[in-house]
A and B are shown apart, each in its own frame.
Chain A
C-alpha cells in the first residue's frame, strides 16, 4: 500500500524540508518504521525507547486518530493519508 505521509513543520528540518513523503506499508507501524528508516533524525522525536509513538504526538489516518482505531496496528489502504500532529504550546512568549 502506498500512502501520503504529512510531516508537521517542526519535524520537516529532519526530513530534508519535505512537507509530505510517499511511503509503502500495510499498517501504521510499517509506514512509521519506513519513515524513520528513511529519516533517522525523526525517530527520537516520534518514538520512545520501546519504539512506541510518543504520547504527545498524534497519528491520524485520514481524519481519524489511531488511538481510537487499532493504534499502530491500524491497517492502511491504498490512497490513505497519514498525518503526524505533535502537541505545540507556543503562543505567548
Chain B
C-alpha cells in the first residue's frame, strides 16, 4: 500500500521517528486491535489507537451511555447519553480519523462468542469491568495465541500487564489464580474511581499495543505495573509464569474457554 498525501501529513510525526518510519506506520494501518469495553479504559485506548492510525479497531460493549459515565469515559458526550456505547464510540473515532475501520460490536462477550470475536484481531485489549470477563478473555487470548494488554482501575489505583501465556511469560491466571467471590471486592460504581485513572492506565495500554504491533522496545509481559495516584508512585513487581497454572502450566486442566462473564462484584 502507498500513503496518500493526507496520510503522509497526518502521520508525519510517526514517520519521522526512525523506530516507526513509513514501514511502521504501514504496519499500524494494517493492524487489527479488539478492545473489550468502551468505558474508562477503552476510551483512551481507542482514541489513541485511532489517532495512531491502527487500521481496524473493534470495540465490544453492550451498554448504553449513562450520564454517570462521562466523568471518565471520554469517547462519549452529553449528546450521546442513552445511545449505544459502541455506536457513540464509532462516531467519535471515525470523526477523529476516517482512515480507521471501526467495528462496533454491541454484544455481551461470553465464553461462547469470544473465540469467534477474537479470531480476526492481532492484539486484544482488556478494559472490562468484572472478573468473569477477565478470565474468559484471558483464556480465549491464550488459546488463540493473541497478546492481551490488560488494564484495571479502582479508587485511586491502576494496574497494567501484558499477558502472553502461550509463550514463556505468564497469563492472568498465573498472576491471580482465582477471582474474588462476589461481594468481597467492590466495583467502581460502589467504591468509586478517580476518572483520570482511566487515562493514565488506558494510555499505557495503548503504548504497549503499539509496541507489540511495531515490535519495539521491552514489553510489560513479566512485570505488573502498579500506579498509585495518591502516593504518585509507579512500581513494578515480578510476575513469573506459574508452572502449575491450570491454563498455561505444564499440566493444564483448562482445555477450552468456559465460565460466566456476568457482573460478579455486586454487593
Contacts and interface: CB of A to CB of B under 8 A. Distances in A.
Interface of A: 8-10, 19, 45, 54-56, 58, 60, 63-65, 67-68, 83, 85-93
A58 B235 contact: no
Contacts, number: 124
Interface of B: 36-42, 61, 63, 69, 126-131, 133-134, 151-159, 175-180, 184-189, 191, 193, 198, 224, 226, 228-231, 235-240, 242, 265
Nearest to A83: B237
25 contacts: A9-B228, A10-B186, A19-B230, A55-B178, A56-B177, A56-B179, A56-B180, A58-B175, A63-B238, A65-B238, A67-B242, A87-B176, A87-B180, A88-B158, A88-B159, A89-B129, A89-B131, A89-B133, A89-B152, A89-B154, A89-B185, A90-B191, A91-B126, A92-B39, A93-B187
A67 B226 CA distance: 18
A69 B165 CA distance: 21
A68 B175 CA distance: 11
A68 B235 contact: no
Given A10-B191, A65-B238, A92 B228 contact: no
